Amino acid sequence: MTGRNVQQTLRVNPIACDSHGLCMELLPELVAADPWGYPIIRPGPVPAELLPLARRAVTACPTLALLLIRADDQADPPQT
């Protein structure tokens, strides 16, 4: 389980997010706005070619609410 090949997913920490909307501007391929301006993330692992853009969006989020997380990190046990 070394870092390299582990797929990443994009997630929003909904507690930290205050709907700045930067992520939607920087990464419209994966992030859309809901009617209140909060980000809706396209589910599934981030395609390799979008990873640089995704990293840029993560760094740009003013409240550090956008996260790249190892796709296997939501495994066992799930949040209940």
Partner 1 sequence: MGQQGPDGTTRQDQHGQGRLLPGDGTVDLAAHLDLHGPPPFSDGRPGAVSLIDQVDKAGLTGRGGAGFPTGRKLRAVVEAGRRGGAMHSQVGTVVVANGAESEPASRKDRQLLSQSPHLVLDGMVLAAEAVGATRTYLCVHAAAPGGAVQGGGPPREALGGPLREAVVSRERSGLNRVPIQVVEIPGGYVSSQETALVNLINGGRAVPTFVPPRPAVRGAHKRPTLVQNVETLANIALIARYGADWFRQAGDAEAPGTALVTVSGAVTSPGVYEVDLGSRVTDLISLAGGPAADPQAVLAGGYFGGWLPMQALAGLRLSQPSLRRAGASLGPGVIVLLPAAACPLAETAHAVAYLAGQSAGQCGPCKLGLPVLAECMQRIAFGRPGRDLLGSVQQVFALVAGRGACHLPDSAAGLAAGTLAVFEAEVRRHAEQGPCPRVNHPQVLPAPDLVPA
Q: Give residues in contact with ligand SF4 (CB under 6 A).
A: 12, 14, 17-23, 39, 61, 63, 65-66
Cα–Cα nearest to 33, from 43, 22, 44: 22
Q: Is 2 in the site for partner 1 (CB under 8 A)?
A: no
- Please pick, from the candidates 5, 34, 49, 52, the single residue that binds partner 1 as defined by CB under 8 A: 34
As given in the structure block, the two tokens for residue 11 are 């997630």
Look up residue 41 and give its two tokens: 């993330």
Classify 70 as helix, strand or coil.
strand
Among positions 52-71, residues that touch partner 1 (CB under 8 A) are 69
Cα–Cα distance measured from residue 47 to residue 30, given in angstroms and rounded to the nearest whole number = 10
Whole-number minimum distance, CB 43 to ligand SF4, in Å?
16
Residue 80 interacting with partner 1 (CB under 8 A): yes
